[in-house]
Structure 1
């Protein structure tokens, strides 16, 4: 007689037992937060957007997703690249398509050499792991991206934070600890603040320090042909390392960093993400190559992005939102407490505006925010809708009473 075995559902299956220590950490570090501050709903999960909502929760600043040239390049590669061997990038020979794309990026940015990575995170992690060490102080802007902090940690480097966008404080900290590596973002990912890069570079040079600039939110949007803030300010030749995520203006999944050519082979032997991760796939490389050409000639989109930024920043300020901490296409609505931030997010979504909740560890504790990211594709109707919604929401959440607004009023003129 045949015996039929019923499949066991996942919910009915016996769960492996977690250690008591791990369960305690989950309870103290997360469960109470989920229950008491987030109301039982995961903090970043708002409503599902519908076709009438205006989405300001992505990073495609130039609105190039689905561009026909990019799609065609990817399709052509998928149809033709059948002999490709998937392996770590360190095994790929010079002259392959990824190497050619690296050369194209170097020519565009005006740098000597560079390397493609799997993401902006691995670009920062893999570069810092190599160029810093236990005897190299790393001077980190207090709002630098988490991947930069993790890169310094991987290098076992002594990290000294300096006040956000404060070159004078940076100079004092370097005078105390000696020359090392200065690390900044050109445009900060939570606030949209622009780095005072000229003064930062001058301070680094005066102290004999190298400098790393993460241009994830300025490559493609700033500078000649979108080559970034360093190029715009004429600083490229004075900056040792430029890094960027290609998941922002490039709307892809990769990263890149520049370096002096003498570092290339040394880095390939010591950077763990380069050694122990697989290379990009041919259709990804082909798509990025086509994207680079689209980005170069997107001056109209850059002008539109800056016009949209100027307009919405002005409208939001007029409506009472304290957004003085930034100036670029990323706009931070810093409600403060997570409970207040979720109320802000829900109020915006009720008006058909979709943003992203940022909270610890992406921000400092009790400085949670709804981040709005603008793009060049926003229409007149969409911009007007956001402005109208912001006024309605302001009457409910009273942003002029947020902690950041009170702190700003308390500061001397």
Structure 2
């Protein structure tokens, strides 16, 4: 511990003591998410680089070129950018790619979601949000003092009952849910939004680049892009970059840069990042072979785990083991890691207490032999009486 010269007020010290004991100096000696460091020979499913493009030569060369030729950066909010700025040109291209009328690039997926709901909502706006929707959506609604009405996961009947009780509002869902890999019933969600005069917001963070023509997303695949009001996405998943987008089908898209606090009071992206993102988009468009392999790997793992008796809810490339309490989760994680299999532990505050998961984020660099090994190790865990699965 560092020796700070000034002591903090008691109420802050109490908070720090609680967090240190609860999250850092735990019974396991460290936070539950921290395990063994993987080696190059291990099967690592912790990254969201689903198409394995982060080291792609075309993207790397464009980034190097952009850095070598970059001029003075605009270290200020993007509201001061001129219409001919490369950021706006890329936004137009993303709009065409996704099938929306306009797009806005933000600094991250978190920023995109918070910005949209903060700018869209006035106090007491009804926000109907799936229980498993990303935390950034919840925070955006909270910032705006909206009336938040959670509905049961993927339960359209519950959603309709809430709307009938409270009136029109904003319906918020993820296309692919980041924890257990389920897929939203998007056609039903859009139909409900139209029937009850609600606004639809779909987070495609874990599906953009993966589904649809040239990876344009699930909304594109289902022909819903023109019927959905707002789409957001983190570009730190399949796009393997640090940015986010908001896509809209109304003039509100032009208002977001001037209404969203996280845009007004944050500096815009650096000039060298835009060409690199453009190169990434080009790679994504032409990655059908990687997408096909990802789908095949994911299907093989889902079916294999179900066949040995595990209750897998996934419908996608995100496959999670539901491991219950912290002690059990640590034990399963340790056994997996000792066998060279690395997933991501989700625990408090990312999940409710005693509802921990170990998430496998499948990526196209894995082999089918890797999947066979994962199934074999999970089968042995299932037969191990010292651990359990929910």
The equivalences for 1:250-329 within 5 A come to: 250-323=239-312, 325-329=313-317
- 1:20 alignment partner in structure 2: 10
The equivalences for 1:237-256 within 5 A come to: 237-256=226-245
- 1:379 alignment partner in structure 2: 367
User: What is the CA–CA distance in structure 1 between the aligned matches of 2:74 and 2:270, rounded to whole Å?
Assistant: 9
User: What is the CA–CA distance in structure 1 between the aligned matches of 2:345 and 2:137, rounded to whole Å?
Assistant: 21
User: What is the CA–CA distance in structure 2 between the aligned matches of 1:366 and 1:355, rounded to whole Å?
Assistant: 18
The equivalences for 1:2-401 within 5 A come to: 11=2, 13-28=3-18, 31-32=21-22, 34-35=24-25, 38-323=27-312, 325-396=313-384, 401=388
SS in 2 for 1:393: helix
User: What is the CA–CA distance in structure 1 between the aligned matches of 2:340 and 2:260, rounded to whole Å?
Assistant: 45
User: What is the CA–CA distance in structure 2 between the aligned matches of 1:104 and 1:261, rounded to whole Å?
Assistant: 17
TM-score of the pair, normalised by structure 2: 0.96
SS in 2 for 1:190: coil
Query: 1:139-182 deviations in whole A, cap 9, x for unaligned?
Result: 00011100000000111111001111011110100011110100
Report the CA distance between 1:339 and its aligned residue: 1.5
User: What is the CA–CA distance in structure 2 between the aligned matches of 1:60 and 1:106, rounded to whole Å?
Assistant: 22
User: What is the CA–CA distance in structure 2 between the aligned matches of 1:394 and 1:355, rounded to whole Å?
Assistant: 17
User: What is the CA–CA distance in structure 2 between the aligned matches of 1:388 and 1:287, rounded to whole Å?
Assistant: 40
Report the CA distance between 1:188 and its aligned residue: 0.3
| Corresponding pairs, count | 390
Q: Is the 8 A contact 2:297 2:368 kept in 1?
A: no
Q: Is the 8 A contact 1:184 1:212 kept in 2?
A: yes
Q: Is the 8 A contact 1:171 1:204 kept in 2?
A: no
Report the CA distance between 1:356 and its aligned residue: 0.6
Query: 1:4-27 deviations in whole A, cap 9, x for unaligned?
Result: xxxxxx84x434312211232334
SS in 1 for 2:96: helix
> Gaps spanning 5+ residues in structure 2: where?
none
User: What is the CA–CA distance in structure 2 between the aligned matches of 1:397 and 1:200, rounded to whole Å?
Assistant: 42
Report the CA distance between 1:265 and its aligned residue: 3.9
SS in 2 for 1:153: helix
Q: Is the 8 A contact 1:344 1:397 kept in 2?
A: no
TM-score of the pair, normalised by structure 1: 0.91
SS in 2 for 1:159: strand
User: What is the CA–CA distance in structure 1 between the aligned matches of 2:274 and 2:233, rounded to whole Å?
Assistant: 16
Q: Which has the greater radius of gyration?
A: 1
Report the CA distance between 1:397 and its aligned residue: 5.9
Report the CA distance between 1:76 and its aligned residue: 0.7
Q: Is the 8 A contact 2:25 2:31 kept in 1?
A: no
> Gaps spanning 5+ residues in structure 1: where?
1-9, 405-413
Q: In terms of mean alpha carbon deviation, does 312-321 or 74-83 score higher? A: 312-321
Question: How large is the Cα RMSD of the aligned pairs?
Answer: 1.7
Do the aligned partners of residues 39 and 169 (structure 1) sit closer, same or farther apart at CA in structure 2, a change above 3 Å counting? same
SS in 1 for 2:128: strand
